[in-house]
Amino acid sequence: MQAEQISQQIKTWAKELGFQSCGISRPQLGAEQEARLQQWLDAGYHGEMQYMAEHGMLRARPTELHPGTLSVISVRLDYLPKAAAFATNLADPSQAYISRYALGRDYHKLMRNRLKQLGQKIATLISDLDCRPFVDSAPILERPLAQQAGLGWIGKHSLLLAEEAGSWFFLGELLVNLELPADEPHPGDCGSCVACITSCPTGAIVAPYVVDARRCISYLTIELKDAIPTEFRPLMGNRIYGCDDCQLVCPVNRQAPLTEEPDFQRRPQWQNQSLLALFQWDETTFLRLTEGSAIRRIGFERWQRNLAVALGNAPYQPEIVATLKQALPTATPLVAEHIQWALQQQKQKSYLAQNLLPRSTERLVRIIQKGLPRDAG
């Protein structure tokens, strides 16, 4: 079988395995990508993610990551659930907002298994096949590789965008020792649009295509192990795991399809959950209800840390104050710091509600009445 026929067969198998798109590229990313990566690392934008610095340029060199690699097969798997309920969650500050990718089953194992199956199918054609699947499991610049494979273009928020799918998808790679015909790189770009840059709650997109992870809510709620800087806490709102704001405002995402994948649908425990209810989970409940979920990776302590911040941002409620105070004596030092901050926020809101706001309302009423004509009633 000719290389072109093998390539087409691989793409057919990828679709049969449930991937929405499949493309092939050469493993070389070039000096420009390496320079961008080095500049990003030198600026410290990776924050506490030391593994990104430790691997260095290995991320941009798939041939060193898996010797013998001649081609990279990139695949796309859509994940936007049918019951995404973006507006409902974000508009209600008493509800918990969880990034839409984490509402269902953890995608890593599912995608990795399917990539393994794809490799097994290719092995039926190539007896000496040597391949290795990747799904966030090793240092590899998957977005530039996917763009080279024609799957989409990199947006100013640094995510890959496809006309037919926006950015609501996962990427995976299969490195193979086959020299397959490479697809044409995707020529798309975002033009003059800067919606993601201007809408980022914490200003994490510091320049087009450059994200300072240290300011990103996804990093703060998932990757950061220490205390969340106080300057970012009020900006996080009710986001307790990840953030989708840059994707929500992206015009390319307006027509993004909903996934039919059962494992990516919203689990019942994430349906209209209040911050207060989630904060009252004990560790046993957390572990049970996050089994098979990406959320479990942050652990119970950071779960409570994130929820404490969100409760501090919520409107004043005596129940919130009572619950936070009840949790304080047994909280870890990390969680306790955030509970104290949340209690201070609630105290300030209580003062405003009881004093300043009523007075402001009364003054406004007097001003309006004073300016009304005498016969206006």
Q: Which candidate, 172, 203, 198, 188, places its Cα nearest to that of 250?
A: 198
Q: Is 112 exposed, middle or buried (0-12, 13-18, 19+ CB in 10 A)?
A: middle
245 part of the active site: no
Task: Please give the C-alpha separations between residue 45 and each of 25, 106, 142, 194, in angstroms, as whole numbers.
Answer: 28, 26, 18, 20
In three-state form (DSSP H/G/I as H, E/B as E, the rest C), the secondary structure along 196-231 is HHHHCCCCCEEECCEECHHHCHHHHHHHCCCCCCCC
119: left (phi over 0), alpha (psi -120 to 50) or beta: alpha
Q: Structure tokens of 340? A: 């104290």
Backbone angles phi, psi at 106, to 5 degrees: -60, 125
Residue 127, CB half-sphere, CA atoms under 13 Å: how many?
Answer: 0
Indicate which residue of 42, 92, 130, 136 is catalytic.
136
d(CA 163, CA 341): 43
Is the Cβ–Cβ distance between 347 and 325 less than 8 Å? no
d(CA 354, CA 136): 50
Q: Structure tokens of 70? A: 């001649």
Contacts of 341 (CB under 8 A, 6+ apart): 230, 233, 308, 309, 312
d(CA 75, CA 21): 6
DSSP code of residue 1: -
d(CA 235, CA 214): 14
Q: Which candidate, 194, 137, 141, places its Cα nearest to that of 27?
A: 141
d(CA 92, CA 202): 19
- Which residues carry out catalysis? 136
